[in-house]
């Protein structure tokens, strides 16, 4: 919930923009750092969720590692202070160039997603006179009970290696001289809200798989359980910080850990989602036959989650909250300006009576928001504005924005 002073300052800033609540961000990261130490769990932040340099520099300063999924993410993480030996690199389609650059940097591990990828890494390490650390991503075949586009641990999936290939995999690793097997990697999906139940299941399945590999003679020193902790999109004020406590506790109580074995997790969304809002203005209020539309200046080019996954984001009218204490409410279809019918923020949302020029806040947009923005329709990219640097924000220039 934003204070009036901040909302007043927004009036001078060109919309749309991503607003970062830095207090909440620091609080979230510090909380995770404290739990990581308490439960002896290594945290690698999944930088795909948000690559904003300020955030990454703080996260790396807390001793977290980085989970990357492209060569550029690896280089960016490194430039933001993550030491190479704390960077892991997953992804089903790593190019030769990306593999080579990461190998040269000396990253902690390639989280390999197919047998062929392991053959290529072994071959490239051989050619370059190196030895590459690998971890193998396994499909644990677990239903994460989340959206079908963000579930990744089911048997038939493009990610990871399934059990019919285990023996071939183990045989190859044992005879290869240019790869150093350090552990197993899992990630079953994202936005998991049945935390205790789903992650306990994951741990039990992981225990079985780790036991199988160790019985075949491969030491699994690192067990990486992936990310996936969900956040409260419905009520971000009630739950501004995700339930890391239950997550870490569930892992700690259900994973079998022999001495010397390290446990890793890779949260992305849960670290950053609640720390940012997309701030937009109402351009037009349009009364249809049966509906009222609020047409905003932020669209699917700024945040594609609603159009892509039908994702829900809470939306608030900031200007109306300043105008009236007890407003009259009305149902609106809230839409963006992009020439696509899927550019809809929400249908039939109840909001205080809204007028042209009102400032709107789209909540919980810190994860998978700005990183997925595009310049579709040749729109400008929405910049970052930080709560502790509001005076540095780009000033609205044209007459309407600067009323």
Q: Which residues contribute to the site for ligand PLP (CB under 6 A)?
A: 46, 49, 67, 90, 187, 190, 226-229, 266-270
Task: Kindly report the number of other CB atoms within 10 A of residue 304's CB atom.
Answer: 20
Pick the closer one to ligand PLP by CB: 193 or 207. 193
Compare residues 142 and 282 and give the one whose CB is closer to ligand PLP. Answer: 142
Q: How far is the CB of 173 from ligand PLP (least distance, A)?
A: 20
3-class SS of residue 239:
coil
CA–CA separation, 393 vs 207, rounded Å? 49
Instruction: Using alpha carbons, select from 163, 214, 216 the residue that is nearest to residue 186.
Output: 163
187 vs 363, beta carbon nearer ligand PLP: 187
Q: Are 361 and 279 in contact (CB under 8 A)?
A: yes
Shortest reach from residue 41's CB to ligand PLP, in Å: 14
Residue 155 neighbours by CB distance under 10 Å: 12
In the block, tokens 């700690």 appear at: 252
CB of 113 to ligand PLP, least distance (A): 9
The strand ranges marked E within 12-86 are 17-20, 42-46, 65-68
Q: Which is nearer to ligand PLP, 73 or 316 (CB)?
A: 73
CA-atom Rg of the chain in angstroms: 23
Closest separation in Å from C-beta 109 to ligand PLP: 12
* Closer residue to ligand PLP (CB): 87 or 351: 87
Distance in Å, CB of 317 to ligand PLP, minimum: 29
Question: What's the rounded Cα separation, in Å, for the pair 257 and 214?
Answer: 12
CA distance 250 to 245: 8
- Is the CB of residue 272 less than 8 Å from the CB of residue 47? no
- For the bound state, the minimum distance from the C-beta of residue 228 to ligand PLP, rounded and expressed in Å, comes to 4
Q: How far is the CB of 154 from ligand PLP (least distance, A)?
A: 14
Matching residue, tokens 């390490």: 125
CB 49 within 8 A of CB 271: yes
**Other Cβ atoms closer than 10 A to 402:** 12
Name the residue nearer to ligand PLP (CB basis): 111 or 354: 111
CA distance 143 to 155: 9
* Spatial distance between the Cα atoms of 49 and 239, rounded to a whole number of angstroms: 19
Q: How far is the CB of 116 from ligand PLP (least distance, A)?
A: 18
Minimum CB distance to ligand PLP smaller for 10 or for 244: 244
Residue (14 or 66) nearer to ligand PLP, CB: 66
The answer to whether 86 and 77 are in contact (CB under 8 A) is no
CB of 250 to ligand PLP, least distance (A): 15
Please say which residue, 13 or 32, places its beta carbon nearer to ligand PLP.
32
Query: What is the helix (H) or strand (E) element at residue 87, kind and residue range?
Result: strand 87-89
């Amino acid at each position: 919930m934003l204070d009036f002073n901040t909302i007043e300052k927004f009036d001078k800033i060109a919309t749309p923009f991503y607003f970062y609540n830095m207090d909440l961000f620091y609080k979230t990261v510090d909380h995770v750092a404290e739990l990581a130490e308490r439960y002896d769990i290594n945290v690698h932040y999944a930088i795909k969720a948000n690559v904003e340099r300020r955030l990454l520099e703080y996260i790396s300063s807390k001793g977290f590692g980085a989970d990357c999924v492209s060569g550029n993410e690896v280089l960016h993480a490194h430039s933001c202070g993550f030491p190479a030996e704390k960077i892991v690199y997953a992804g089903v389609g790593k190019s030769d160039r990306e593999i080579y650059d990461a190998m040269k940097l000396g990253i902690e591990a390639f989280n390999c997603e197919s047998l062929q990828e392991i053959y290529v890494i072994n071959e490239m390490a051989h050619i370059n006179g190196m030895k590459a650390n690998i971890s193998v991503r396994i499909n644990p075949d677990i239903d994460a009970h989340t959206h079908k586009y963000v579930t990744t641990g089911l048997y038939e999936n493009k990610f990871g290696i399934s059990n019919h290939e285990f023996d071939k995999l183990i045989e190859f690793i044992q005879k290869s001289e240019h790869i150093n097997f350090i552990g197993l990697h899992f990630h079953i999906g994202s936005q998991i809200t049945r935390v205790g139940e789903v992650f306990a299941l994951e741990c039990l399945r992981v225990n079985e798989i780790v036991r199988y590999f160790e019985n075949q003679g491969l030491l699994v020193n690192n067990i990486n359980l992936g990310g996936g902790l969900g956040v409260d999109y419905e009520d971000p004020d009630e739950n501004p910080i995700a339930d890391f406590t239950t997550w870490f506790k569930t892992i700690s109580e259900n994973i079998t850990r022999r001495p010397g074995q390290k446990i890793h997790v890779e949260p992305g969304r849960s670290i950053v989602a609640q720390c940012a809002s997309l701030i937009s203005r109402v351009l037009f209020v349009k009364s249809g036959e049966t509906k009222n539309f609020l047409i905003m200046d932020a669209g699917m080019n700024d945040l594609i989650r609603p159009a892509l996954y039908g994702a829900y984001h809470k939306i608030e009218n900031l200007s109306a909250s300043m105008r009236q204490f007890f407003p009259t409410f009305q149902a609106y279809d809230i839409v963006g300006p992009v020439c696509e019918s899927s550019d809809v923020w929400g249908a039939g949302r109840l909001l205080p009576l809204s007028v042209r020029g009102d400032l709107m806040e789209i909540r919980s947009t810190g994860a998978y928001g700005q990183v997925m923005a595009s310049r579709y329709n040749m729109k400008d990219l929405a910049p970052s504005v930080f709560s502790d640097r509001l005076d540095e924000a780009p000033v609205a220039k044209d007459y309407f924005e600067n009323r």
